[in-house]
Amino acid sequence: MKIVSGGGRAIIVQADVTRASEVQSLIEQTVAEFGPIDILVNNYSAAKGGLITFTKGLAKELAPFGVRVNAVSPGVIDTPYHEQFSSPEMMKTYAGMIPLGRVGTPGEVGKVICFLASGAASYLAGETIEIKGGMFMD
């Protein structure tokens, strides 16, 4: 794992989040390894609308316990997914639709997540940060 090879700590915990017992196990394993959970950053491209609503609701519920919940909403990010499912022509078309003129990188998404997990974001809760290079600005 890149996190571990880079000097960080990480674990992999598989869980079906539609099953309460598996979510409880995920939480228990995480707390056992790292201590109390202080921050949750929601990420995954499917059902973003539901995720945004879930983020706000969970943030409101957990804020009194000192847990900040936020979400990131990446746009077109140069990941292995696109290597497999998007042709170079498609990626060029995507880049042409993005005001910054290029697709994003996983590192750029990671930096936003690091910001959300840092003290610099200590007063952010229930927010969704779009990392899309200006794509779909309203």
Catalytic residue numbers read 44
The H or E element containing residue 129 is: strand 128-131
Tokens of 93: 């078309």
What is the secondary structure of 24-75 as a DSSP string? Answer: HHHHHHHHHHH-S--EEEE--STTHHHHHHHHHHHHHHHGGGT-EEEEEEE-
DSSP-derived secondary structure letter, 130:
E
Q: What is the residue whose two structure tokens read 């140069």? A: 78
CA distances from 137 to 21, 26, 107 (A): 40, 36, 22
